[in-house]
Amino acid sequence: MTRFFLNRRRTPAQTQVCDAGQLLEAASPEAVEVHARALAVGAQLATTLVVTGYPAEVTPGWLAPLLSFPGHLDIALHIDPIPTPVAAAGLRKQRARLESGRRAGFGKGHLDDPEVEAAAADAAELAYRIARGEGKLFHVALYLTVHAPDEETLAEQAAAVRAVAESLLMTVAPTTYRALPGWLATLPLGIDTLRMRRTFDTAALAACFPFTSPDLPITTNADGAPQGVLYGLNTVSGAPVLWDRFAQDNYNSITLARSGAGKSYLAKLELLRLLFTGVTASVIDPEDEYVRLAETVGGQVLALGADGVRLNPFDLPAADDGEDVLTRRVLFLHTFLAVLLGTELTAAQKAVLDRAVLAAYERAGITADARTWQRTPPTLSDLTAVLAEEESEAAAALADQLAPYTTGSHADLFNGQSTACASGHLVVFALRRLAEEVKAPAMLVALDAIWRQVTHRPRTGRHLVVVDEAWLLMRDGAGAGFLFRMAKAARKYWTGLAVVTQDADDVLASPLGRAIISNAATQVLLRQAPQAIDTISENFHLCRGEREFLLTAARGEALLLTGDRRHKVALMSIAAPGEHEVITTDPGELAAQQPDEPGDAEPEADGLWYEPPFNADEGEADS
């Protein structure tokens, strides 16, 4: 428990005289026993520390860690304004002393003293600001009183407070033989009995106000009940960190961390808890890390690359009134083929490709007439056949580049009609079976299938799209552009996009990557590598303390930032035993969960139960 008392000295006209005995009669303890450095106040012991030194540079709210101290600590800040004429006269005398010292040293041939030079420059700047009316001077005193039930605990608590103060680059000293005045100075009486003060200007004093909280504000629904999911515990206050991404300006998030820091663990933990609130979700999973979670909660797993599992990039979505579905599909195919071929298409190639795609659809009986959009779409083989018939070098080159995906080693992945339907309360696109060379285009096709489901579903519930290892897609310009457009438009469909990646350079090195971050109201940073911390600090505007936290964070510790930078919190993600069994990917733990004998049953997750959301239109639960 920490209490903060602020005493601003009143002017003589405002001061009221009262009897101190009457003032203390109601709230005074039964007895006070005074010792050299402590005093016994009733059944409690108390000792007071005085702040005698302050850091040279601070940020607003820098005293907030003292407010978060877990023990019983009273903090008193006494402020006494200095009249402007008195402040100006004092500064004039101070500048005269410094200038005379400089000139005396120069006359004797001494080198200039950097500390004196800096003090003279600061005094001159402050004097000019006061003369222009841009600030004032104040006498400020800061006292800290620690309470504990016994001497041993009091010594431990006082040492802990001293450690927190010294971590803020403050110098503290005990009130030796002045324990009673020190205790009185921290009572809410407005009396500075020690008068151990320093001179502050307006800007320095404003930065000392610790009126900030280490906890995030709790969002509530219309009934006043808290909403959101548990991310973990606040590393400063120990309070639960509840966050509702769907209560922010947009529902997107970005999670950056080095490998092994726990980014996917935190993403799966949030996803699992969101499912219990009725949120539906789709996941792009390059490493099959979400498969066990999907199987546990009754979700659908689409293992692209497995026998008989295929998505056709030529599929047309259901048409909305006034929407030109065919034109949108042709534009997507330009993006898909650029990612598939791994190169930027030239103007000539785009023109040839546009004619060939339209011709392939026309041969399949699909035209600008909306009545034809329900027919069976063409395939990559149909596109290659059209390109082969066109007598041009660009068409021939494109047909040759597409050969591995129509008749070669990857023909079963993209060439053919779709055999899977991406529907259900949780759909995981597992891509681990795929070669690295085709993971990016497979992610793009899966994202397109998700987006078609999102844009044409009834907007009666929240949806979350998770893209894990997003660097695979963002290292390609066309893939990053598709992800950016999805981030911009997802909010219109009550959908959030969660981008999870371990390669900060692929996200921050491009304008599209930085644009995706700027469109994420929820930003999560876990442990960072020293080689990437400069880029992270610059783009997320981190202070030195936040930078050091990310360099030394343990696994699971994260810094949660809001897009408007009004709130931020350091947290440790925690999971229940049943949740941990479902989302962990630690090889040792997974091996321990395997049955000893082939006939043994697999262990069940303790206490983990999920009921899919009810579909009122169909009269049954989605599966």
605 contacts 581 by C-beta, under 8 angstroms: yes
447 contacts 483 by C-beta, under 8 angstroms: yes
pLDDT of residue 225: 67
pLDDT of residue 101: 75
For 491-500, b where at least 16 C-beta lie within 10 A, e where not — what string?
Answer: bebbbbbbbb
Domain boundaries, the chain: 2-207, 245-311+423-576, 314-417
Instruction: Tell me the C-alpha distance between 184 and 145, whole Å.
Output: 10
Token match 């010294």: residue? 166
Q: Residue 577 CA to chain centroid, in angstroms? A: 25
In this chain, the answer to whether the domains covering 245-311+423-576 and 314-417 adopt an identical fold is: no
Among 497, 484, 547, smallest CA distance to 523 is for: 497
Level-2 CATH architecture, domain 314-417: Orthogonal Bundle (1.10)
The interaxial angle of helices 84-107 and 114-131, nearest 10 deg, is 150
Instruction: Tell me the C-alpha distance between 277 and 225, whole Å.
Output: 14
pLDDT of residue 85: 83
Token match 């897009």: residue? 563
Antiparallel, parallel or unpaired: β 522-525 and 253-256: parallel
pLDDT of residue 586: 78
The two three-digit tokens of residue 474, written as one number: 């963002």
Level-2 CATH architecture, domain 245-311+423-576: 3-Layer(aba) Sandwich (3.40)
90 contacts 112 by C-beta, under 8 angstroms: no
pLDDT of residue 607: 38
The interaxial angle of helices 533-540 and 544-552, nearest 10 deg, is 140
Instruction: Tell me the C-alpha distance between 22 and 189, whole Å.
Output: 13
Q: Per residue in 495-517, pLDDT tens?
A: 999 999 887 776 887 788 888 88
Instruction: Tell me the C-alpha distance between 136 and 569, whole Å.
Output: 33
Instruction: Tell me the C-alpha distance between 244 and 225, whole Å.
Output: 13
The interaxial angle of helices 436-455 and 477-489, nearest 10 deg, is 20
> pTM here?
0.65
* β partners of residue 612: none
3-state helix, strand, coil in the chain (%, to 5): 40, 20, 40
How many Cα atoms are found within 13 Å in the side-chain-facing hemisphere of 571?
26
Residue 280 φ/ψ, nearest 5 degrees: -95, 160
The two three-digit tokens of residue 476, written as one number: 């390609």
- Per-10-residue mean pLDDT for the chain, 623 residues long? 60 51 60 88 90 82 79 89 83 79 73 72 78 82 92 92 90 91 87 87 78 62 74 82 88 90 92 92 92 92 86 82 78 90 85 91 89 90 90 86 86 84 87 87 90 79 91 80 88 91 79 86 91 87 84 91 73 90 83 61 41 41 38
